[in-house]
A and B are shown apart, each in its own frame.
Chain A
Amino acid sequence: MAETSCLMPASALAQLLPMHLWLREDGTLISAGRTLAKLLPDLDDGLVGRLSGARPGEPSDPMTAIRGAVDGRRRLFLRVEGSQLVLRGHGVRVAGGSVLLNLGFGIGLHHAIRQAALTDDDFAPSDLAMELLFLQEANRGVLNELSRFNEQLEQSRARALLQAQTDPLTGLGNRRKLESTLSAALKTSETGEIRPFALVHLDLDNFKQVNDLLGHQAGDDLLRAVGKVLRDQIRHADTATRIGGDEFVLLLPGMTSRPALKQLSARIIGAINALTPPELPGLPVSTSLGIVVWPTDGAEHPDEVLALADEALYASKRSGRSRATIR
Chain B
Amino acid sequence: MTTSRGSMRSLTSWKTVFRQYRIHKDQRRWQTTLDVSAVSKSAPLLDITPPPAPSVKTHRHIKAFPPRPSTWKRCKDPIAAVMASQMTLLDPTGARKRLFHRSNPESAKVGDILLVRQKNGEPFSGVCMNIRRRGVDTGILLRNQLTRVGVEMWYKIFSPNVSGIEVVQRKAKRARRAKLYYMRKPKHDMGSVENIVRVYSRQRAMLGTAGAKKDAQSYIRQKKKVQKKGKGKKN
Genuine A/B complex: no
